[in-house]
A = this chain, B = another copy of it.
């Protein structure tokens, strides 16, 4: 993004202050596309919400309201639906790649952009050919950031809610004036997993990678006594990178959803870690990144994603 600063548009306001246009993008957000493959009686469904945003030589749109370079957001919408039809939706990632290629090749002044998708999963009702029910365990995400010849693809999901009812503790933390927490070796641990992983190539079976990563994360969640949510995320991330050479980086942003044992001593009722109050706020919030050693990073591509440091 630094090149924006190197060749700025100079806007001189009344007081002589010079203001330059920095990073910017624009487009159409949340195009909700449902694509039915109906070549045979056994229909297939893909359901995605797609956002398209363009970057490039767009300064005059901002500084003069000159729209000669402003590919209308309405046009971007039509294109999203058009490509969903002509290309199909083999994966959210592949649709984003097709859109990026189209926009950057079609318009000279568009040299990049950001395309994002969220997929809503469906499963068949009783293995029916054309009747489906939404499975809502988690939301699948994909973000593609294109900057000239560089493409950064980040897959992921969020809102996968997991809980272990034992084999989690928290001990050994610093004690001080503001510490009131008691140590424990047996507590509920629960979180909504939000995770994104950056791949180092795009000729992938993205659906297969997705299922594998989700499976590894769930399996890792179950396989250890957790001394801290940080440790659990670290184990998850390591396992994913170890199993997937095409993944160079994985980030987690996970609440620690507190479940407090409800003390019923006032009523003479024993509660042996059975009845809990599930609190809403405040909540712990743990964010961590795991990276393949030696692999290049791509920090710019993570901009604008809520809650990933």
Mask for A129-172, Cβ within 8 A of B = 1, else 0?
Answer: 01111111100000000000000000000001111111100111
Contact among B65, B241, B249 with A226 in the assembled complex (CB-CB below 8 Å)? B65
Instruction: Out of B13, B33, B66, B284, name the residue touching A172 (CB < 8 Å).
Output: B66
Contact B72 A179, beta carbon cutoff 8 Å: yes
Residue among A21, A62, A164, A268 with max Cβ neighbours from chain B (10 Å): A62
Q: Is the CB of B228 within 8 A of A65?
A: yes
A: interface residue count bin: 35 or more
Contact digits for A69-88, partner B, Cβ 8 Å, 1 yes 0 no:
11111110111011011100
Cβ-defined contact, B293 with A45, below 8 A: no
Residue pair B293, A68 in contact (C-beta under 8 Å): no
Q: Select from chain B the residue with minimum beta-carbon distance to A80.
A: B282
Partner of A130, one of B167, B180, B293: B167
Residue of B nearest to A240 (CB): B19
CB of B133 within 8 A of CB of A134, answer: no
Q: How far is the CB of A182 from chain B (nearest CB, A)?
A: 9
Closest Cβ of chain B to A70, distance in Å, is 5
* Residues on the B chain within 8 Å of A31, using CB: 277, 281-282
